[in-house]
Amino acid sequence: MRNRIMAVCLVSLLTACKEGAGPPLFPPPPPPASPSDIAFYSTKNGGDWDIYGMDSLGGHRINLTNDVWDDVDPAWSSDDKKIAFVSTRPPSSQYDIWVMNADGSSVRQLTNAPGADINPTWSPDGSKIAFASSRDGNLEIYVMNTDGSGAMNITNNPTYDLEPAWSPDGRKIAFASERDGNRDIYVMNADGSAPVNLTNNTATNESPAWSPDGQKIAFHSDSASSVALSFDVYVMNADGSAHTRLTTDPASDYEAAWSPDGTRIVFVSLRNINPDLNSEIYVMQADGSAQRRLTVNQLPEHRPRWRH
C-alpha cells in the first residue's frame, strides 16, 4: 500500500510540473561561467602587474599572465582569439609587445628593439598592430605585422605621439600627441598622413577610443578641472565636434573603452578612494548615466578593454 501511494504522488507531481500547475521541482542550473569580456591589468599583493579578464558584470575574474614580471596594456585582436600586451619579461626585460591566446596560453614576443614599446592596438582586419615606441629617441606611432615584422614609424615627429586607436573601418588612427605644446587627441590616415588636431585646447587630453560605429571618440581630459591631471571622461564626434562631458565626479575618471554594441562605456576611476589610492573599474551608459562600480579590490586596476 505504501509503495502504491508513493507512486501515485510521484505521478501527480510530474503531471503538475508538465502542465505548468506550479513551480518546477528543481531550480534550473546556473548559466555557465562567461568568458572574459573585459581585459585589464592589475597587481597582486602590491607586486608586479598582470593581465586579468572578467565578465561584463565584474565577475569571473581570472589572472591570464600570473608571472613575476610586469604585464600591462592588453588589447584584443579583432577576432577576440588573442590579446596583445606589454611586458618586461625576459629575454629583453624592457617594455616590449607580446601576444597570447585569449586564455593566457601560447605567449610569444613580437618586439625587441631598444627603448619602450607600448600601447598596442590591432587593425580591424587583424593584419596589423599599431603601437607607440621610443626606439628612435622619443615616442612615435609605429605599425607592424602581427608576427612582429615590418615595423614602420608612421608619425616621424620630434614630440611625443602615443596611444594609437584604429578606427572601426581601418582607415584612420586616433592618437594622443604633444606636437602643439600640450597633449591633444589627433586623427590621421592609417599610413600616418594628414594628421588633424581634434581637441585643440590647452588641457591634457588622452586615451582616444572609437565607438563601434566609428561615429564618436571617447577620451579623458582635465579641461573642466582647476586641478591639472584631474580627468573626466568625454565623448566627441569623430571630426572633433560636440565635446560632451560624461563624468563629473571630483575624482579622476579616465581610460574609457566602449562595449561592442556601443551602449556602454567602461572606465577607470579614483572615486570612493581608500588610503591605498587604488583605482577601480566602473561602467556607465554611453550618455554617462547609470554609473556603477565593477571591481571592488584593495589593489589598483587599469586600462580596461572590451572584447569585440
Phi/psi at 13 (nearest 5 deg)? -65, -45
Reference 175, options 167, 163, 166; nearest CA is 163
Reference 304, options 231, 255, 259; nearest CA is 255
Q: How far apart, in whole angstroms, are the C-alpha atoms of residue 231 and residue 81?
A: 32
Q: For the CA atoms of the chain, what is the radius of gyration?
A: 23
pLDDT at 70: 96
212 vs 46, higher pLDDT: 212
- Over residues 129-143, the pLDDT tens digits come to 999 999 999 999 999
Q: How far apart, in whole angstroms, are the C-alpha atoms of residue 261 and residue 56?
A: 13
30 vs 110, higher pLDDT: 110
**Do 298 and 45 contact (CB within 8 A), yes or no?**
no
Q: What is the DSSP string of 158-216?
A: SS-EEEEEE-TTSSEEEEEE-TTSS-EEEEEETTS-S-EESS-SSS-EEEEEE-TTSSE
**Do 236 and 243 contact (CB within 8 A), yes or no?**
yes
Q: What is the DSSP letter of 63?
A: E
pLDDT at 1: 42
Provide the whole-model pTM: 0.87
pLDDT at 266: 98
Q: Is 274 helix (H, G, I), strand (E, B) or coil?
A: coil
Domains, the chain, with CATH or none: 2-306 (2.120.10.30)
Mean residue pLDDT of the chain comes to: 89
Question: What's the grid cell of residue 260?
Answer: 561592442
Q: How far apart, in whole angstroms, are the C-alpha atoms of residue 26 and residue 34?
A: 23
Indicate whether 145 pLDDT > 70. yes
